[in-house]
Amino acid sequence: MSELKLNVLPSPTWNWLRMNDTSYQAKNLTGGAAPKVCIPDKVRAGEETFPKEFDGGIGREFTDFLDKEEKARVFDIDYDMADPIRLRYQTGKDQAVSDRVMINVAEGKKGLVVMNFTSDGSDGQLAVQTAVNIAKDAELTLFSVMRTGDGSVLMNDIGTQIGDGGRFNLVQIVLGGKDIFLGVKNHLSGTASEIDMKLGYYMTGDDNLDVNYIASHTGQKTKCNIYANGILRDRSQKTFRGTIDFIKGCKGAKGDELEDVLLMDKTVRNKTIPVILCAEEDVEGNHGATIGKLASDILFYLESRGMDQSEVYEMMARARIDAIADQIGDEETRKLAKDYFQTGE
Amino acid sequence: MADILQVKDLKVKLAEEDTEILHGIDLNVGEGEVHVLMGPNGAGKSTLGSSLMADPRYVITDGHIIFDGNDITGQSTDKIAKAGIFMSFQNPVEVPGVTVANFIRTAIENKTGEHIKAWDFMKDLKKTMKVLDMDPSYAERDLNVGFSGGEKKKAEILQLLMLRPKLAILDETDSGLDVDAVRTVSAGIEEYKKTVGGALLIITHATRILESLKVDKTHILANGRIIKDGGPEMVDDINENGFEKYLREGGIDK
Amino acid sequence: MKEKAVVKDIDRSMYDFRYSEDDAYKVDEGLTPDIVKQISKEKNDPEWMRDFRLKSLDIYNQIPVPDWGPSIEGLDMDHIVTYVRPHDNKMENDWENVPTDIKDTFEKLGIPQAERKSLAGVGAQYDSELVYHNVKDSVAEKGVVYTDIESALHGEYADMIKEHFMKLVPPTDHKFAALHGAVWSGGSFVYVPKGVHLDFPLQSYFRLNAKGAGQFEHTLIIVDDDAYLHFIEGCSAPKYNVANLHAGCVELFIGKNATLRYSTIENWSKNMYNLNTKRARVEEGGKIEWISGSFGSHVSYLYPMSVLSGKGSRSEFTSVTFAGKGQNLDTGCKVVHAAPDTSSYVNTRSISKDGGISTFRSAVTIAENATGSKSSVSCQSLMLDDISRSDTIPAMDIRTSDADVGHEAKIGRISDDVVFYLMSRGMSEEDARALIVSGFADNVGKELPLEYAVEMNNLIQLEMKGAIG
């Protein structure tokens, strides 16, 4: 076992809140993960050394933890993709595996990647780190659905470098999981580079979701949009850290962050820390959060249409996940998310 | 004809404070009948409608509500709705995140306990929306979010037609609507009478919505009491002469 | 119209004058058990207090400095003078008997004038000791107690002090709470009996005159059931080129259905480390209203905390922080919802200018049992140039689903369009920007009594226009 500090908040606050990072006893790695990979012909796939300067959302200790695995699978994208690169990961019994991925999108091109995570129902541990490099005027869209069940541990880390006019779209959907760590750090260094991150989650039982999203604005006129919408049931827990960091010189930058959390049971626990750091005058930053149960007037209205409270909550939960899932342009992945709620369609 | 709804000596107070709003209401509605509940502002008309639906803002302190032969007093809102009462809200709330289509389908499935095929449902929904002169795009919009007053009322009638209740309570469904919208809503109510054949309790202080409906009985509610029961002719009388006469007869100073 | 009293036109020299401290009694620099014992002896402490001080010192030595927040490296505890008693110290209740230089100080600050016009009582602390304390007869007749805490320790309220002193902010809370426990001196004790409603505010003014010294006053206020009090606190000090330290402690106990409004306009000099701890405990149906303007100090750590321990208790926190050149002001608040149906409302504004750093930091906790609770936090920040910094770090920990929590934060700058519009009406750019900043800080301005709103506005004008005096 190795104790790791995961999802480190860029600007620490009171230690008693226990939000500055999450200490986690990770099982020592037993080997490399073997995802099912499906690559369109025109993508160049290979193997390279993972970049030393990688700076992701989960943090330094996690990166060091994975450093034994130096090799990374590389995908070079040099055309506008219609069919995605698919990576299907599954956690396995008694396994503590890792994988490193590099995705490079060439100037002016549009890449599409789907990374899906499921579980064989056991107590596996899976750690994946993805380095994204988006060249000038290029765009990468990454869809991800995580359904690793209530036994497995998933650490899913992303670090991006985005050039002038580049754009990164990320949709992540988490449908349960014993311990899920999501970290994404975006380096918006190119002028007018943009990111759009959407997170949907539905946690039940004793699930635990721990998130660290960071947008680091160094380039001028950079934009970020962070949206998280989720549901907590039973005794599930969630920590959401979202940081917009306006670094001196990022003139004309804009950042928006919005979080909606629907709390369904009295035993849930929600921690939220939305941070805006600002060392530049010419910026605009906004953050909003609404956390709580369903408003009583909405509940009454829906009950008056013949649904009991749990049916109302079920519908609201599905609607929230659907709204994020509808952002997924990949039929197969969207279905993976939506099927979670459907019965016999 | 058997009564679908019997309200017996119903007393209702506010949940938050000890103010009694309804001081013993008796009201019977027969199966398939159309009843009109009129009265001045603040009389307690909407409170009566809301209390029948077990609105948590009110507490029933005494009396009984018998619906379709069963005592539903104190039952939860969803059970009352499932039993077959539908109330059209005066001010329907906005429900972000849930589309009109998704919502109505879920509501029907919960009510019947049966799965409906998406395609069949959408066909039925679009057909019904046409009766109400609603743009089909509303099916995919979030329920009531950003709807105008008229659109919200149409969405209420759309639910009424899709959920097919045995009794529909329409709370000021005509208020704040222009002439065209009133006509469309009226058409929707006629459609309900025609295709479902359920009873109606129409709460209103105006009479425009009643023009094309065959009213069976009229009740006047004032100061939390029903002060007069009558036939359809009372609607015309109130329309021409107002409530004053009835209020005087009922011993109420205006 | 109410007459504008106190400080109408201020300039920097208003606060920067200082008097000789030659004949004042001081303890040695630094912090040792001997120094703490010496303070205790000087102050004629009861035995439990002496033990409490020594225990606090132990705790102080064990707790590390915070590993978050602004740097306090410039604060050399080995050279801070923890106790300075002004010469001829004797607590007076008539300004005429206060030593001339001290009286002049407070007259320049407008305190005696304000007392005559609009206050129910005044306390004035100079360095480590209170030099003046007075309550209007009509207020005293209602049973209201307003005295220095040392007198209270020996008088009929001794048990009440012992029962409450550092119970809400224990010395174990953080390093500077422990320091306070060891070397505290001065401050006020207020008791408002059941059902008494004070129409006029009580005020305390803290003045730190001595160079390289610390001020560690303790304020203990008990507002009994159904009572109402508005308490105002003002602070200032002349500027020296060595660090001064303020580590006061404010403990507020608010009874059932009682309300306490606690207003502060803080204008410490810019060599001050302001490591102040303020906390309120609110019983059923009670309310704490914090109004806070932070303008001074070199470094501030200031997060008034509300512990909502009674059903239906409420907290309102309204603040403005202005960080100018050389300032790192880390301010905000903490709220713990520990009972059902509690509510909190937070509305803050931060302004950063000339390289100043302002941080809004908050923590809202809704405990498992605090069902039906509501919290609303709104913070806005204004950046006035690109050499300054403004951070917003709000944390929320919600442990029940039966809660309604809303949060919004905004950061931005003054719109060029608005400046242009005002200039087109004949205002200079400087005036236009000052006007906009005053408006931005209005959340606090409109909650203060007129005199203080005027003083605050003057401080803003001063910061916006550079040194006039």
C3 pLDDT higher than 70: no
Which stretches of chain B drop beneath a pLDDT of 70?
Answer: 1, 253-254
Q: What is the pLDDT of residue C255?
A: 98
Choose among A229, A304, A307: nearest Cβ to B87.
A304
C314 pLDDT higher than 90: yes
pLDDT in tens, C346-368: 999 999 999 999 999 999 999 99
Q: What is the pLDDT of residue C14?
A: 62
- pTM assigned to the model: 0.87
Contact exists between A and C (3 or more beta carbon pairs < 8 Å): yes
The three state secondary structure string of B154-195 is: HHHHHHHHHHCCCEEEEECCCCCCCHHHHHHHHHHHHHHHHH
Torsion angle of the four alpha carbons B156, B160, B166, B170, in this order, in degrees rounded to the nearest 10: 30
SS3 A130: strand
A344 inside 8 A of chain B by CB: yes
C13 pLDDT higher than 70: no
A13 inside 8 A of chain C by CB: yes
Q: How far apart are CA A209 and CA A230, in angstroms?
A: 11
How many angstroms away from the CA of A138 is the closest CA of chain C?
A: 29
Q: What is the pLDDT of residue C467?
A: 35
Choose among C391, C400, C408: nearest Cβ to A278.
C391
Partners of chain B (3+ Cβ pairs below 8 A): A
Question: B201 near B51, Cβ under 8 Å?
Answer: no
ipTM for the predicted complex comes to 0.93
Cα separations (Å) of A230 from A115, A278, A319, B143, B205? 20, 27, 10, 19, 43
How many angstroms away from the CA of A290 is the closest CA of chain B?
A: 13
In this structure, the number of other CB atoms found within 10 A of the CB of residue C159 comes to: 8
Choose among A264, A266, A291: nearest Cβ to C405.
A291
Q: What is the pLDDT of residue C439?
A: 87
The ranges assigned to domains in chain A are 2-296
Contact exists between C and B (3 or more beta carbon pairs < 8 Å): no
pLDDT in tens, C14-56: 677 776 766 677 888 878 999 999 999 988 999 999 999 999 9
Q: Which residue is listed with tokens 């040792």? A: C32
C348 inside 8 A of chain A by CB: no
SS3 B94: coil
Name the fold adopted by B3-95+166-249: Rossmann fold (3.40.50)
Residues in A touching B97 (Cβ below 8 Å): 229, 316, 319-320, 323
pLDDT in tens, B59-94: 999 999 999 999 999 998 888 998 999 999 988 888
Q: Which residue is listed with tokens 């580079």? A: A193
Residues in A touching C363 (Cβ below 8 Å): 13-14, 17
User: Which residue in chain A has the smallest CA separation from C69?
Assistant: A13
Question: A97 near A124, Cβ under 8 Å?
Answer: yes
Choose among B93, B111, B115: nearest Cβ to A306.
B111
How many angstroms away from the CA of A88 is the closest CA of chain C?
A: 34
Choose among B93, B115, B159: nearest Cβ to A297.
B93
Q: How far apart are CA C380 and CA C398, in angstroms?
A: 23
Q: Which C residues in the span 406-445 are in contact with A, Cβ-Cβ below 8 Å?
A: 406-413
Q: What is the pLDDT of residue B225?
A: 92
Q: What is the pLDDT of residue B173?
A: 80
Q: Bigger pLDDT: C442 or A191?
A: A191
On the CB side of A53, CA atoms within 13 Å amount to 5
| Parallel, antiparallel or unpaired: strands B167-171 and B199-203 | parallel
How many angstroms away from the CA of A186 is the closest CA of chain B?
A: 28
| Parallel, antiparallel or unpaired: strands B58-67 and B70-71 | antiparallel
C385 inside 8 A of chain A by CB: yes
Mean pLDDT of successive 10-residue stretches along chain A, which has 345 residues: 95 96 94 93 95 95 86 96 95 89 98 93 91 98 92 95 98 95 98 98 96 98 97 96 97 96 94 96 95 91 92 89 89 84 50
B76 inside 8 A of chain A by CB: yes
The three state secondary structure string of C339-389 is: CCCCEEEEEEEEEECCCCEEEEEEEEEECCCCCCEEEEEEEEEEECCCCCE
Concatenated DSSP letters of C114-160: HHHHH-SEEEEEETTEEEEEEE-HHHHHTT-EEEEHHHHHHSTTHHH
Q: What is the pLDDT of residue C9?
A: 36
User: Which residue in chain A has the smallest CA separation from B89?
Assistant: A301
Contact C407 A292 (CB under 8 A): no
Percent of chain C with pLDDT over 70: 94
Residues in A touching C341 (Cβ below 8 Å): none
Q: Which A residues in the span 285-324 are in contact with B, Cβ-Cβ below 8 Å?
A: 295-298, 300-309, 311, 315-316, 319-320, 322-323
Q: How confident is the model at residue C106 (pLDDT cuts 50, 70, 90)?
A: confident
Contact B53 A305 (CB under 8 A): no
Q: What is the pLDDT of residue C10?
A: 41
C163 inside 8 A of chain A by CB: no
Q: What is the pLDDT of residue B41?
A: 84
Q: What is the pLDDT of residue C22?
A: 61
Contact A292 C381 (CB under 8 A): no
Q: What is the pLDDT of residue C2?
A: 37
Q: Which A residues in the span 186-205 are in contact with B, Cβ-Cβ below 8 Å?
A: none
Query: Looking at this protein, which amino acid is placed at residue A228?
Result: A
- In terms of C-beta density within 10 A (0-12 exposed, 13-18 middle, 19 or more buried), how is residue C445 classed? buried
A272 inside 8 A of chain C by CB: yes
Q: Bigger pLDDT: A122 or C411?
A: C411
